[in-house]
């Protein structure tokens, strides 16, 4: 791909990442905003219902008090009491006394010179099964006094005047309130105050949130008073996505979209960066192989009985041009994925021959080399190995090979390669044993010489970890199949003692005996141990506490 096309591809990926992130976040924002708006409407409805209940309670209190106050009808005392009531009331603006359809006195005007006929009620209903009838007269029918203009609620001969704008004042645009009187006898609700709403009595009494023609309604009814309310809001319904998508300005959605876009771009950028790094890692690694930058560190393998070094594992080490050391766990998988692990393996073999040639020649010492599964099916590897051994006069017994258990389990063709290596005289070790698909039959079929117990198991020795219980099982399997054991990752005396006792003849590898070090350092350690065999354990202690990794 040309670099301009590549750049266009990157930009497209970033834009797509941003767009997808923004779209997802926008949608999530709408849902969130809709839920928030629904919740706000519900809370608003609660407030309105609270006011409706308080109004009904105050009206009923006036009716109860003055229908049986024991005072003479429309006496000065009663009028004074009515005035006191109104003065302290929150919703009742005026109170009048009525008898046989005629109004005789009010708290505002006092005793009327001539009784006034009560206007015809527009609504008459029953607040509860055995309650008195309640009549409601709208404000315009009443002209008692300028300030008595209001809705009349008449009950038991007491007429309370309520502020007709009560619910209009409670409007909180875009939310609106409707007050309804509830007739228990007929199970209907009757419009009384505020905004007209299109809900039927059944819908109101069901008290479920309803959307109608782009407006969301929340009806609520009081459990203690004969009132219901309906709170409505147009914007909320729009948010549900049915209409008016862009009419309202969904702030949360837009904000979330921006965050989502940033998030999406970041993810896309991370993906790009990852692939870019991988590609550049691959390029650097290929270069490193060509210029033979990859070297070996050697980690001692000891006899757990004597702590004498019997071999070493060759571990690949790469310090790149910038001086940064790249761990094998990072670059080996890249070489495997990109199909050039064979080149790494051949380079490691070269290093082992160069570094350890003389030690390996006499056959009393061995080095193990890690292989990847593809090496086992690669004829070039076998040819290279054979040539190298011959050229350096090294017996095959001096070079062992480690193959991870997982790799061999996944690829049946590993078996042929293992058989070929063993037939030539090389020992084959199953590396990282216990982390894969170990089973008795599988071990039997593979015909390895030894297993290397993974560090994950070693460090559970002496602990309560569940994996600790697997260790005796692995040792038992090895014993039955006459396989050798190399224990990886031994860091403490306790771990070494455990395996020495549990599996006579076991070998060990780990920081307790020595970290991976360059060839020269390794050979120095080896000579020291040969010269002072009795102090091997003391030296191991020093290695465990001090030496740095190679």
Longest Cα–Cα distance in the chain: 137
Closer CB to ligand C2E, residue 348 or residue 478?
Answer: 348
Closer CB to Mg ion, residue 78 or residue 488?
Answer: 488
DSSP β-ladder status, 102-106 and 92-99:
antiparallel
User: What's the DSSP call for residue 430?
Assistant: E
CA-to-CA separations, 356 to 57, 161, 228, 311, 528, in angstroms, rounded: 101, 109, 94, 11, 17
User: What's the DSSP call for residue 172?
Assistant: B
If binding is defined by CB under 6 A, does position 370 make contact with ligand C2E? yes
Closer CB to ligand C2E, residue 327 or residue 425?
Answer: 327
Count the alpha carbons within 13 Å of 21 in the hemisphere toward its beta carbon: 20
Non-local CB neighbours of 110 within 8 Å, separated by 6+ positions: 79
CA distance 96 to 135: 14
Q: From the CB of 24, what's the least distance to ligand C2E, in Å?
A: 39
Interface with Mg ion (CB under 5 A), residue total: 5
Q: From the CB of 414, what's the least distance to ligand C2E, in Å?
A: 13
DSSP β-ladder status, 309-319 and 366-371:
parallel
If binding is defined by CB under 6 A, does position 333 make contact with ligand C2E? no
Instruction: Say which entry of Mg ion, ligand C2E, none residue 372 contacts (CB below 5 to 8 A, set by partner kind).
Output: ligand C2E
**x-or-dash string of contact with ligand C2E, 480-519, rule CB under 6 A:** --------xxxx-----------------xxx----x---
In contact, 369 and 349? CB cutoff 8 Å: yes
Closer CB to Mg ion, residue 263 or residue 331?
Answer: 331
Handedness of CA 247, 251, 254, 260 (dihedral sign): negative
Q: Which residue's CB atom is positioned nearest to ligand C2E?
A: 510
Instruction: Say which entry of Mg ion, ligand C2E, none residue 511 contacts (CB below 5 to 8 A, set by partner kind).
Output: ligand C2E
Closest by alpha carbon to 230, among 205, 255, 251, 249? 205
**x-or-dash string of contact with ligand C2E, 244-273, rule CB under 6 A:** ------------------------------
Q: Which of residues 136-155 bind Mg ion (CB under 5 A)?
A: none
Instruction: Say which entry of ligand C2E, Mg ion, none residue 299 contacts (CB below 5 to 8 A, set by partner kind).
Output: ligand C2E
Please give the distance of CA 234 from its chain centroid, rounded to a whole number.
Answer: 34
CA distance 303 to 536: 11
**The only residue of 328, 357, 484, 518 in contact with ligand C2E, by rule CB under 6 A:** 328
**The only residue of 372, 398, 438, 495 in contact with ligand C2E, by rule CB under 6 A:** 372
Q: Which stretch binds ligand C2E (CB under 6 A): 211-219, 326-334, 410-418, 528-536?
A: 326-334
Report residue 162 as tokens.
Answer: 């309520």
Closer CB to ligand C2E, residue 299 or residue 408?
Answer: 299
Report residue 246 as tokens.
Answer: 């862009």
Q: From the CB of 248, what's the least distance to ligand C2E, in Å?
A: 58
If binding is defined by CB under 5 A, does position 355 make contact with Mg ion? no
Instruction: Say which entry of Mg ion, ligand C2E, none residue 491 contacts (CB below 5 to 8 A, set by partner kind).
Output: ligand C2E
CA distance 298 to 521: 9
If binding is defined by CB under 5 A, does position 375 make contact with Mg ion? no
If binding is defined by CB under 6 A, does position 299 make contact with ligand C2E? yes
Closer CB to Mg ion, residue 216 or residue 550?
Answer: 550
Handedness of CA 85, 86, 88, 92 (dihedral sign): positive
If binding is defined by CB under 6 A, does position 431 make contact with ligand C2E? yes
If binding is defined by CB under 6 A, does position 399 make contact with ligand C2E? no
Closest by alpha carbon to 67, among 101, 109, 95, 108? 95
Helix, strand or coil, per DSSP, at residue 153: strand
**The only residue of 148, 370, 438, 509 in contact with Mg ion, by rule CB under 5 A:** 370
Closer CB to ligand C2E, residue 328 or residue 396?
Answer: 328
Closest by alpha carbon to 136, among 127, 126, 123, 145? 123
If binding is defined by CB under 5 A, does position 402 make contact with Mg ion? yes
**The only residue of 33, 197, 431, 540 in contact with Mg ion, by rule CB under 5 A:** 431
Q: From the CB of 319, what's the least distance to ligand C2E, in Å?
A: 13
Phi/psi for 380 (5° steps) reads -60, -35
If binding is defined by CB under 6 A, does position 521 make contact with ligand C2E? no
Q: What separation, in Å, do the N-terminal and C-terminal C-alpha atoms of the chain show?
A: 40
CA distance 293 to 350: 12
Q: From the CB of 457, what's the least distance to Mg ion, in Å?
A: 11
DSSP alpha helix (H) spans, 117-242: 166-170, 201-206, 234-239
Closer CB to ligand C2E, residue 134 or residue 316?
Answer: 316
Closer CB to ligand C2E, residue 118 or residue 418?
Answer: 418
Closer CB to ligand C2E, residue 134 or residue 341?
Answer: 341
In contact, 349 and 292? CB cutoff 8 Å: no
Q: From the CB of 339, what's the least distance to ligand C2E, in Å?
A: 13
Q: From the CB of 396, what's the least distance to ligand C2E, in Å?
A: 18
**The only residue of 78, 98, 402, 405 in contact with ligand C2E, by rule CB under 6 A:** 402
The secondary structure element, H or E, covering residue 550 is none
User: What's the DSSP call for residue 549?
Assistant: P
155 has which bridge partners?
A: 158
In contact, 516 and 549? CB cutoff 8 Å: yes
Interface with ligand C2E (CB under 6 A), residue total: 23
SS3 letters across 292-326: CCEEEEEEEEEECCCCCEEEEEEEEEEECCCCCEE
Closer CB to Mg ion, residue 432 or residue 540?
Answer: 432
Residues found near Mg ion in the complex (CB under 5 A): 370, 402, 431-432, 488
Residues found near ligand C2E in the complex (CB under 6 A): 299, 315-316, 327-329, 332, 348, 370-372, 402, 431-432, 455, 488-491, 509-511, 516
């Amino acid at each position: 791909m040309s670099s301009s096309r590549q750049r266009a591809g990157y930009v497209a990926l970033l834009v797509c990442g941003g767009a997808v992130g923004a779209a997802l976040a926008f949608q999530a924002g709408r849902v969130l905003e809709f839920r928030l708006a629904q919740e706000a409407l519900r809370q608003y409805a609660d407030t309105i219902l609270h006011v409706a209940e308080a109004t009904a309670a105050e009206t009923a209190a006036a009716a109860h008090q003055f229908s049986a106050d024991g005072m003479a009808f429309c006496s000065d005392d009663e009028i004074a009491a009515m005035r006191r009531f109104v003065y302290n009331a929150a919703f009742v603006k005026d109170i009048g006394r009525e008898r046989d359809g005629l109004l005789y006195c009010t708290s505002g005007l006092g005793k009327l010179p001539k009784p006034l006929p009560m206007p015809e009620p527009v609504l008459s209903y029953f607040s509860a099964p055995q309650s008195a009838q309640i009549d409601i007269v709208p404000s315009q029918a009443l002209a008692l006094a300028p300030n008595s203009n209001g809705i009349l609620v008449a009950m038991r001969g007491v007429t309370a005047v309520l502020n007709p704008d009560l619910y209009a004042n409670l409007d909180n645009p875009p939310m609106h309130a409707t007050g309804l009187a509830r007739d228990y006898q007929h199970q209907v609700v009757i419009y009384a105050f505020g905004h007209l709403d299109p809900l039927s009595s059944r819908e109101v009494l069901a008290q479920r949130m309803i959307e109608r023609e782009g407006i969301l309604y929340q009806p609520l009814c009081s459990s203690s008073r004969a009132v219901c309310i309906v709170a409505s809001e147009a914007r909320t319904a729009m948010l549900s996505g049915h209409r008016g998508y862009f009419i309202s300005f969904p702030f949360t959605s837009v904000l979330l979209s921006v965050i989502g876009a940033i998030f999406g771009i970041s993810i896309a950028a991370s993906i790009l960066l990852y692939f870019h790094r991988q590609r550049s890692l691959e390029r650097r690694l290929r270069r490193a192989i060509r210029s033979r930058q990859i070297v070996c560190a050697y980690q001692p393998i000891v006899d757990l009985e004597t702590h004498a070094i019997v071999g070493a594992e060759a571990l690949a080490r790469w310090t790149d041009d910038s001086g940064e050391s790249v761990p094998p766990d990072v670059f080996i998988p890249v070489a495997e994925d990109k199909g050039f692990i064979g080149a790494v393996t051949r380079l490691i073999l070269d290093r082992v021959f160069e570094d350890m040639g003389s030690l390996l020649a006499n056959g009393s010492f061995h080095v193990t080399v890690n292989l990847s599964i593809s090496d086992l099916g690669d004829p070039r590897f076998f040819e290279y190995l054979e040539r190298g051994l011959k050229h350096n006069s090294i017996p095959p017994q001096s070079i062992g090979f480690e193959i991870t258990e997982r790799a061999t389990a996944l690829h049946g063709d590993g078996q042929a390669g293992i058989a070929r290596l063993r037939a030539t005289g090389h020992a084959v070790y199953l590396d990282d044993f216990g982390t894969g698909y170990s089973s008795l039959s599988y071990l039997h079929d593979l015909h390895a010489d030894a297993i290397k117990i993974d560090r994950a198991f070693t460090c559970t020795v002496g602990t309560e970890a569940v994996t600790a219980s697997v260790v005796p099982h692995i040792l038992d399997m090895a014993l039955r199949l006459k396989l050798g054991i190399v224990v990886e990752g031994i860091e403490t005396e306790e771990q070494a003692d455990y395996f020495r006792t549990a599996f006579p003849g076991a070998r060990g590898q780990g920081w307790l005996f020595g970290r991976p070090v360059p060839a020269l350092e390794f050979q120095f350690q080896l000579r020291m141990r040969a010269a002072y065999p009795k102090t091997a354990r003391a030296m191991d202690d020093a290695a465990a506490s001090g030496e740095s990794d190679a």
